[in-house]
Amino acid sequence: MPSPSTPSEPVEYTSERRDFFRIEDRIGLEIRRLSPNTSPEEDAFDGDHLESLKAEFRRLDQDVRSQLASLAERDRLLTGLIKSLNGKLDTLARIMTFEQNPLQPEDWQEVTLSEGGLAFSSSTPAWAIGDRLAIRMTLPPELFQPRAIAQVIDVQPDSTGGARVHTEFERIQDSDRQQIARHVMRWQIRQRQKE
């Protein structure tokens, strides 16, 4: 069930964004403004040299998952062990990636996050409606790093001279959207356990 909209949200885009669950969370957030002539395939975070390795990693992960499905029919204990080892390798890969590119304290922000977009606070009024942004998020505690191309759909000035910036993802890979969905679901489970 989607969270209720806050009174400060403009009516014109609230209804379409209610298709997704939204959470208030503290995440690592890296943002780069894209110029109008930037190709969607360009990597704003300078990771091009790793793309072939990431593609190979995804291919191997798919191979393991498909083979696990057939193995599960014959040996549940072995399937469970291989799933645990695969999860352990995934976690190790995320830790190594994060250690190579640690976020600074100012990169951690309170945001409103959903599969459809995110809202964040900016200390300066640097963003305008229509701006296209490359966004890389770091979602704790799993340290997933989904990426998206987003468009600024609203900017609400605040009393400190900054603004609350609302974005909508216009280009995001399915795997990144699924990581966000899992993060939102786990966040909701943790909140229920605290109650």
pLDDT of residue 14: 43
Kindly state the percentage of the chain with pLDDT values over 90: 33
More confident residue, 40 or 191: 191
What pTM, to 2 d.p., does this model score?
0.66
State the average pLDDT over residues 100-112.
80
Kindly state the percentage of the chain with pLDDT values over 70: 80
Lowest mean pLDDT among 34-48, 55-69, 73-87, 89-103: 34-48
State the average pLDDT over residues 23-43.
80
Structure confidence by residue, pLDDT tens digits, 152-170: 999 999 888 889 999 999 9
**Residue type for 44, please?**
A
- pLDDT band at residue 147 under the 50/70/90 scheme: very high
The pairs formed by 21-25 with CB atoms below 8 angstroms and a separation of 24 or more are: 21/114, 21/115, 21/184, 21/185, 21/188, 22/112, 22/113, 22/114, 22/184, 23/112, 23/113, 23/114, 23/184, 23/187, 23/188, 24/110, 24/111, 24/112, 25/110, 25/111, 25/113, 25/139, 25/183, 25/187
Q: What is the mean pLDDT of the chain?
A: 80
pLDDT of residue 129: 94
